[in-house]
A and B are shown apart, each in its own frame.
Chain A
Amino acid sequence: MTKILLVDDSRTVLLMEQMILAGEPYTFELATNGEEALARATANPPDLVLLDVIMPGLDGFEVCRRLRAHASTRAVPIIMVTTRAEGENVEEGYESGCTDYVAKPIHPEELLAKVRNYAPAREASLG
């Protein structure tokens, strides 16, 4: 199945994202800071990353740059999810290599549409 890495230091956002995407054929991995996100993504690359920007330690921009610099995650779509959705921050996000943006508070329909677009469902193998 399509695997999505959800990265946010807010437990509330991680809950909300899983609720929005429940019922879709996705599996999830969770990370609550940038270091954990990098470790998980490079060890076992996901099909899509939903990445918070403002986090303690490595912020989302830096995580994005490092994922883009790593061979195994260079092509993984990254959607930044942030309360800072104004011009400069959006520019910095794209410069760091993100694929798309979603502003908080998250609109469920918008997130679902973008996730479906960047991470087409892949049914579980029947072996």
Chain B
Amino acid sequence: MANVADTLPVAAALVRLRESAQGPGVFTAVREILSDLVGCEDFGIFSLERRASVLCLRQGAGSGLARPQISVEPGAVRGAGAVAAVPLRRGGRLCGALLLFALLPQKPALQPADHAVLEVVATHAAEALLDASDGAR
């Protein structure tokens, strides 16, 4: 059974994303959630370009901005230094990924509660993140 304390970040993430709705504020909400609830300030939101078999950076923060494209060949995402990769889907179809590249020094590893927060982000913000302009970088 989940510790009640472990459910609070998920609840906070849900409320925050609902507040930001689908507008341009969703990237700010996701950046806050990743930094303040998960402990990651280096991430990228990538769209999947199937013809070229690459992930293309749409938005990001920190060192996540240093990788404009990542191959989707086996092992490439891990080779790019991602510590976590969360699939982003639109209508059930894989259309991108949220990649985390580094955690804060005081955060040695992701915990199950962190993965639950990342799932909330993927479920509730995937479309808005992928549709948002690059201006949010």
Contact = CB atoms under 8 A, between A and B. Distances in A.
Interface of A: 10-13, 15-16, 19-20, 83, 85-86, 103-109
Given A16-B37, A83-B104, A85-B106, 10 more contacts: A12-B12, A16-B12, A83-B35, A83-B39, A83-B41, A86-B105, A103-B106, A104-B39, A105-B38, A108-B8
B37 to A, nearest CB: 6
Interface of B: 5, 8-9, 11-13, 15-16, 19, 29, 32-33, 35-39, 41, 104-107
Nearest to A85: B106
Residue from the set B19, B29, B104 with the largest chain A CB neighbour count within 10 Å: B104
A121 B107 CA distance: 31
A107 B35 CA distance: 14
B123 to A, nearest CB: 17
Given A11-B19, A12-B29, A83-B41, A104 B8 contact: no
Contacts of B16: 11-12, 15
Nearest to B39: A105
B55 to A, nearest CB: 26
Contacts of A13: 32, 36
A8 B41 CA distance: 17
Contacts of A105: 9, 36-39, 104, 107
Contacts of B19: 11
A85 B104 CA distance: 9
A33 to B, nearest CB: 15
7 contacts: A11-B32, A12-B12, A12-B16, A12-B33, A15-B12, A108-B8, A109-B5
Contacts of B37: 12, 16, 105
Contacts of A85: 105-106
Contact of A10 (B5, B15, B32, B39): B32
